[in-house]
A and B are shown apart, each in its own frame.
Chain A
Amino acid sequence: EPEVTQTPSHQVTQMGQEVILRCVPISNHLYFYWYRQILGQKVEFLVSFYNNEISEKSEIFDDQFSVERPDGSNFTLKIRSTKLEDSAMYFCASSTGTDGGTEAFFGQGTRLTVV
């Protein structure tokens, strides 16, 4: 069964360093998303991406964050100059259709620890 794949599963980085989280969405999906979950809190939306551009972003997704689809299969989230409060589980998701009307499938997540 097709699935969303995320790498690495766990990353530890020093405060101030840049990190890139990688995702391979399901191959026929057109919409891609990043969410995060701080330990013990709700899953929060960061950004959605369609047709090689950001379609929507939350207040959390500030200039520190960027997304890219560098080739036909990968989707990345870059965090510049990480802060302690960026420590969280980051989830990539994808869906097929338009207007948010279809099912979103999530990866297993990357646990980011900033020390």
Chain B
Amino acid sequence: KQEVTQIPAALSVPEGENLVLNCSFTDSAIYNLQWFRQDPGKGLTSLLLIQSSQREQTSGRLNASLDKSSGRSTLYIAASQPGDSATYLCAAVNTGSYQLTFGKGTKLSVIP
């Protein structure tokens, strides 16, 4: 059974800092891995999708990498802004399945 873990659970950084959020998964037989943003009491906003054949994806100040062999993905946020404050979730889809298995998330606070 796939297990997804995110470390750290919470992170506080000053505005302008570059930061890395970590995601690990136990079963490397994945189709893809997706990063989401969740604001308090709100839905999930898709940030980046990395297919299993890809090593990384970029969107604006966000860059996500995937290393299937080690069961790890990272989300890099450049030049953080207070508006980036939210919980960031990673989720994996296993081969032969349709379901996303989520981590518990990293709660990011960017201090002005």
Closest beta carbon of chain A to B41's beta carbon, Å: 8
- Given A43-B102, A48-B99, A56-B98, A106 and B43 touching (CB < 8 A)? yes
Interface locus among B12-20, B31-39, B64-72, B76-84: B31-39
> Is A108's CB under 8 angstroms from B98's CB?
no
Q: Is B108 an interface residue (CB 8 A)?
A: no
A105 CB–B CB distance under 8 Å: yes
For A75-111 the 0/1 string (1 means CB < 8 A from B) is 0000000000000000101000001111111111101
Q: Are A101 and B32 in contact (CB under 8 A)?
A: yes
The answer for the CA separation of A4 and B96 in the assembled complex, in Å, is 25
Main secondary structure of the interface of A (DSSP, over half): strand
Interface positions of B from 88 to 105, Cβ below 8 Å from A: 89, 91, 93-94, 96-105
Judge whether B44 is part of the interface by a CB distance below 8 angstroms.
yes
Residues of B within 8 A of A (CB): 31-32, 34, 36, 41-46, 49, 51, 89, 91, 93-94, 96-105
Could you write out 25 A-B pairs with CB less than 8 Å apart? Answer: A33-B99, A33-B100, A35-B100, A42-B102, A43-B89, A43-B91, A43-B102, A44-B102, A48-B98, A48-B99, A55-B98, A91-B44, A99-B31, A99-B96, A99-B98, A100-B31, A101-B31, A101-B51, A101-B93, A103-B46, A104-B100, A106-B45, A108-B43, A109-B42, A111-B41
